[in-house]
Structure 1
Amino acid sequence: MQITFQLLNRKEASIILPYLDIMNHQNVPMEILKERFEEMLSQNYEAFGIYDDNQLIGCFGLWSMTRHYCGKSLEPDHVYIEENYQSKGIGAQLFKWIEAYGKKKGVTAVELNTYVENFPSHKFYYNQGFIARGYHFLKKI
C-alpha cells in the first residue's frame, strides 16, 4: 500500500464529488452540490485526492484563511476515506501531511469542524492533538 495525497487541479477536482455525495447528510441534490463545489474552487479552497498507488480511495479539502485568534490557518473539510481503507493509519498519516503542508505555507494552526454525533471522529482528532474549543452553530436563512 503506497498512500499519497495529491492536489487536484480545477478540471480534475470533480472526481471527488461522489465522496462528497456520500457524506452529504443534508441531502443536497447533486446539481447543487456541483455548483457549490465549483464556487468553492474559486475561493481559498484546495481539493485533494487520497490515493493508494494510482487508485483514488478518498478525499479532503483545505480552506486557507487568517483568523484574529490564531493567525494563518488551514481548515480540513470533508475528509473521507473508503471504508475498506479505514482504521489502517491513513488518517493519522494524512493529518501529519496536512501539518507539514501547512508549515510550508506559513500556517500556524489547523482547525476543523466535525458533527456532534460523530464520536469516532472526536476520538481520532483528540488522538491527533486537537482540542475542542467551542461549538459550530448554523442557521439557514
Structure 2
Amino acid sequence: MFKIIEKEEIHTIIPLVEKLNDYKISVNVLKGRFNEMVTQNYECAGIYDNDTLIGVCGLWFCTRHYSGKSVEVDHVYIDDNYRGKGLGKDFFTWIYNYVILKGYESVELNTYVNNYASHKFYYNEDFKILGYHFLKKL
C-alpha cells in the first residue's frame, strides 16, 4: 500500500533513510531536519507491507523556470527484502498519479554517482540527465 506519511509520523522514515548514506548523520540531527522539512513544501510517500514501512520517497514541491510546477523526489529507498519485485515501478506510478492530481507537470531527482542500480531504474522510467548536482558545505 502506498500513502503520504502524516507529518506527525515523519520520524518513522529515519531507519530507512539512514541506510541511504555512507556517511552517518545522528538520529537527533535527522529528527531535527525532518521536523523542519515538514514545515516547508515537503511531503513523504511511504510503501507499507501491512503496518510495516518498507519504502520511502520524499517529495519537494516547487515551480522552476525550466520545468514548471515540479516535484523533486528525494531519499528514495526500498528495503532490500522487497527489491526486484516491481515495487519501485508501482511506487513511481503511484507518485506520478499523485503529483498530477496536485497539478504538477514534471518530476526530477538527484541520485548518487555510484548508485548504478538507481541509474538503470530511472533510465527505464524515462528520466533524462540534464546536469550535475554540486554541493558545498558551509
Task: Say yes or no: TM over 0.5.
Answer: yes
Residue 74 of structure 1: aligned partner: 71
Q: What pairs up with 1:86-97 in 2 under 5 angstroms?
A: 86-97=83-94
Any unmatched runs of 5+ in structure 1? Answer: none
> Which amino acid in 1 is paired with 2:37?
M
Any unmatched runs of 5+ in structure 2? Answer: none
* 1:23 to 2:29 alignment: no
Identical-pair percentage: 52
Residue 121 of structure 1: aligned partner: 118
Q: TM-score, normalised by structure 1?
A: 0.93
Aligned-residue offset at 1:48: 2.1
Residue 108 of structure 1: aligned partner: 105
Residue 138 of structure 1: aligned partner: 135
Which portions of structure 1, spanning 4 or more consecutive aligned residues, are displaced by more than 4 angstroms? none
Q: TM-score, normalised by structure 2?
A: 0.95
Kindly report the root-mean-square deviation, in angstroms, between the aligned alpha carbons of the 2 structures. Answer: 1.0
Name which of structure 1's ranges 20-29 and 40-49 shifts more when overlaid on structure 2. 20-29
Q: Judge conservation of contact 1:13–1:48 (CA < 8 Å) in 2.
A: no
Aligned counterparts of 1:24 and 1:72: Cα–Cα separation in 2: 28
